[in-house]
Amino acid sequence: MSASTVTPESRERDVSLTAPAKDHAPRILSRDPADFPVPTGREEEWRFTPLRRFARLMAGAPSTEHLTWSSETPVGVVIDELAADDPALLGLPLPVDRLSALAVANADGAVRVSIPESAATEPVVLRLHGDSAEALVWAHVVIDVRPFAQATVVLEHTGSAQYGEHLSVIVGDGATLRLVHLQLWDGDAVHAAHVSARVGRDATFRSFQASLGGSAVRVLETVEYAAPGGDAELLGIFFSKAGQHLEHRMLIDHAVPHCRSNVLYKGALTGDPAAGEAGIARSVWIGDVLIRAAAVGTETYELNRNLLLSQATRADSVPNLEIETGEIVGAGHASATGRFDDEQLFYLESRGIPADVATRLVVRGFFAEVITRLGLPEWESLLQDRLDSELGFEAAGVDDEADE
Amino acid sequence: MATLEIRDLHVTVESDGGPREILRGVDLTVRAGETHAIMGPNGSGKSTLAYSIAGHPKYTITRGTVTLDGEDVLAMTVDERARAGIFLAMQYPVEVPGVSVSNFLRTSVTAVRGEAPKLRTWVKEMKTAMEGLSIDPKFAERSVNEGFSGGEKKRHEILQMELLQPKIAVLDETDSGLDVDALKIVSEGVNRVAAAGTVGTLLITHYTRILRYIKPDFVHVFVDGRIVAEGGPELADALEAEGYDVYVKAAASA
Ligand SMILES: Nc1ncnc2c1ncn2[C@@H]1O[C@H](COP(=O)(O)OP(=O)(O)OP(=O)(O)O)[C@@H](O)[C@H]1O
Ligand SMILES: [Mg+2]
């Protein structure tokens, strides 16, 4: 593998290198955007991304614009602002690409959500709303789940913006965090996010991503384990329609023994065959799992399934497992992209079910396995309604006494 | 009382060498309370007839009419036909991953009956119907037809027939792939629906063994895209003993 491109000077500026670069591990870790060359689109991590749509974010101009925040804060949860030079920011997992470094650099400090063990366990809800697709917004959010705390944090994004986000997640020893990160944007939003999680000893990180809106959304999730016994579950759903680009990438770095990871992502795509290139619904799912030599006793599985509801779709799905030790409990991956085909439609229609209801039935059934694992009924039905409206159904108009 | 009338039905499919005519003038009337058996050699067009009645998009009607109580069936969409009372038990039921049987059945019943059944009575109704066909209750949570054995798929088709109570039921080789016990169970299901006297049944089969359980009023011999002979149950026995040869030869020389 090629040597790192990082210069000795930059190393002094809080840059660390991943030991001999792995195929899919980031080669550069830095908080300085200048350490990351501007992508050309040929790089492995950018080759699926429509860089033109991320051009304004990639240009990286500072901005003082913000999303509007409203929050529900259970008793004991503290939300505060950290200045850019706050030492608490130094120990966080580092950005791994230019956009995530730009978010940290331009956010000029961070908003921190601290959840101590004594806090009430109701969800912390952060509703972030953007008013304009013209607004350029940078944000660094830190979720600090203290040891042995039990926390649920929901981050909901609505409206529109050009949004560069870096979300640092620290799950303390013995703690459990359920993180729900929802991209419910209007059609013209552009959102690049890096969720970088560090999972403590015997800690559990359960993440749920849903990308159902936006023009272009690129979410990168990185998971590292601070000590043995960590457990990370990354769930996700996305629904891509004509002209949308929804990209989910994850890199799970098993560098310590006896940790678990489990990934389950499901996506549906429906484009507009009459609209040519502009009608294509696009999705990208990249699941990189690295089991380093020290990570004996690792157990990992990742699965991505995509459902194509029309011809005008393109779903890339690339699971990738690199294993450097044989002493693991198990490692596997699977990826499948299938079509909702005319025979299935005919079968359902021949039982009296109208075509649109049949599509909805299939899409609901497809996502149910993931959505029901969220374990938050209120948010599950919100997502279900949103999926219905993506399919052109009035959220509450159809009888949907499901059979669960 | 429902009547399905098929008149001079001509149907083509798109093949590599252009449209190919499969049905070449089918005439048939099925009334509520009647059971018609259609028997004929492989490839003679029996499934094509069944699919054409149900409205499968692969088939093009080039001539003729199909009416249900005077209504133009051919002008209806597939789901409208089902809601009008036409049911097709398929020779090869389709797998629909991700959709549970119970959700599928309820959605279908809701569409055909025009209103959602009350949840409590519905659960009981479904359970009873499944028991009657010796279908394990666990199937309710499985994906439609996914991983079902051939026999399980056929039972699932008849389960739908019982719940949907159609006016006209077309059963395309529902008997094939069933062992003797399953054949009996499935036949009993069909007979339960027929007992009300409100369904007209079109039973497509290769074998007379199902006719021991489901008594046909009429037997039609189907060769080369049309009905070439008609009779009562005794015709089925003759076919079993002598095969279709004489009809096939006659059709070829016609
Ligand atoms: N797409 C197609 N292109 C060409 N020929 C086709 C096509 N689809 C069906 N056929 C032909 O139409 C004919 C009738 O088929 P059909 O399935 O209706 O027969 P069948 O009587 O049901 O046979 P079986 O007893 O084997 O079920 C067959 O010769 C079949 O090969
Ligand atoms: Mg057939």
List the single range of A257-266, A363-372, B159-168 with lowest mean pLDDT: A363-372
Please state, in angstroms and as integers, the Cα–Cα distance from residue A158 to each residue in A131, A134, A191, following that order: 9, 15, 11
Q: Quick one: pLDDT at residue A365?
A: 85
- pLDDT, residue B161, reads 98
- Any atom of ligand 1 within 6 Å of the Cβ of B22: yes
Question: Over chain A, what is the mean pLDDT?
Answer: 91
Give the residue from A293, A323, A339 where a domain finishes.
Answer: A339
- Does B141 score more than 80 pLDDT? yes
If you write DSSP's letter for every residue of A274-306 in order, what string do you get? GGGGGG-EEEEEEEEEEE-TT-TT-EEEEEEEE
Is the distance from CB of A295 to CB of A328 less than 8 angstroms?
yes
Q: Which residue has the higher pLDDT, B243 or A238?
A: A238
pLDDT tens string A216-241: 999 999 999 999 999 999 999 999 99
Helix and strand numbers (H, E) in chain A are: 6, 16
Residues A41 and A181 in one domain: yes
Q: Is B131 exposed, middle or buried (0-12, 13-18, 19+ CB in 10 A)?
A: exposed
Of A26 and B40, the structure prediction assigns the larger pLDDT to B40
Q: Say if A106 falls within a structural domain.
A: yes
State yes or no: ipTM above 0.95. yes
> Of A324, A339, A354, which residue constitutes the final position of a domain?
A339
Contact partners, residue A384, CB within 8 Å, separation at least 6:
A364, A367, A371, A400
Domain for residue A254, yes or no? yes
In a shared domain, residues A205 and A165: yes
Q: Which tokens belong to A144?
A: 């600090």
For residues B131-136, give the mean pLDDT: 96
Ion ligand 2 residues within 5 Å by Cβ: B 46-47, 91
Substitution candidate for ligand 1 out of B21, B24, B26, B46 with most atoms within 8 A of CB: B46
pLDDT band for position A9 (cuts 50, 70, 90): very low
Q: Give the closest of B95, B100, B144 to A403, CB-based.
A: B100
Do both A300 and A349 map to the same domain? Answer: no
> Considering only CB atoms, which residues of chain B are within 8 Å of chain A?
54-57, 77-79, 81-83, 87-88, 90, 93-100, 102-104, 106-108, 110-112, 116, 119, 140, 143-144, 160, 164
Task: Report the distance separating Cα A145 and Cα A177, nearest Å.
Answer: 7
Element containing residue A346 per DSSP (H, E): helix A342-349
Ligand 1 close to Cβ of residue B15 (< 6 A): yes
Q: Which amino acid is at A350?
A: S
Closest C-alpha to B11, from B57, B63, B53: B63
State whether A186 and A305 are in the same domain.
yes
Does residue A312 sit in the same domain as residue A350? no
A255: left (phi over 0), alpha (psi -120 to 50) or beta: alpha
What local confidence, expressed as pLDDT, does residue A394 receive? 62
Same domain, A333 and A348: no
Amino acid code (one letter) for A267: G
A313 is a domain residue? yes
Average pLDDT over residues B163-188: 95
**Structure confidence at residue A393 as a pLDDT band (50, 70, 90):** confident
CA pair distance A322, A299, nearest whole angstrom: 13
Whether residue A300 lies inside any domain: the answer is: yes
| A210 and A243 part of one domain | yes
Residue numbers of the domain that contains A87: 24-339
Q: Which among A338, A347, A369 has the least Cβ separation from residue B94?
A: A347
Give the pTM: 0.82
Q: Does A155 map to a domain?
A: yes
Query: What is the distance of C-alpha B47 from the center of its chain?
Result: 9
Pick from A188, A284, A281: which is nearest to A241 by CA? Answer: A281
Q: Which residue has the tokens 């005008």?
A: A312
* pLDDT the model gives residue A391: 83
pLDDT in tens, B45-64: 999 999 999 999 999 999 99
DSSP per-residue string spanning A151-180:
EEEEEEEEEEEEEEEEEEEEE-TT-EEEEE
Higher pLDDT, A366 or A106: A106
What pLDDT is attached to residue A388? 87
Q: Is residue A297 part of a domain?
A: yes
Q: According to the model, what pLDDT value does residue A4 have?
A: 31
A224 & A295 share domain: yes
| B47 CB near ligand 1 (under 6 Å) | yes
Same domain flag for A362 and A215: no
pLDDT in tens, B207-233: 889 999 999 999 999 999 999 999 999
Q: Who contacts A290 (Cβ-Cβ below 8 Å, separation ≥6)?
A: A22, A24, A25, A251, A252, A253, A254, A255, A322
The total domain count for chain A is: 2
The set of residues, in sequence order, having a beta carbon less than 8 Å from that of A381 and lying 6+ positions away, is: none
Same-domain pairing of A185 and A290: yes
**What percent of chain B has pLDDT above 70?**
100
Which chain A residue is nearest to residue B57, measuring alpha carbons? A346
Looking at residues A365-373, what average pLDDT do you find?
Answer: 91
CA distance linking residue A11 with residue B134, whole number of Å = 71
- Judge if the beta carbon of residue B45 lies within 6 A of ligand 1: yes
DSSP secondary structure letter of residue A87: G
Q: Considering the domain boundaries, does residue A402 fall inside one?
A: yes
In this structure, is residue A284 part of a structural domain?
yes
A135 in the same domain as A267? yes
pLDDT, one tens digit per residue, over B72-93 is 999 999 999 999 999 999 999 9
Q: Mutation test of the interface with chain B: which of A351, A371, A388, A399, choosing the one with the most B Cβ atoms within 10 A?
A: A351
Please identify, among A290, A320, A339, the residue that sits at the C-terminal boundary of a domain. A339
Specify whether A79 is located in the same domain as A209: yes
Tell me: pLDDT of A7 over 80: no
Please give the CATH number for the structural domain made up of B3-97+150-253: 3.40.50.300
B173-185 in b/e form (b: 16+ CB < 10 A) is: bbbbebeeebbeb
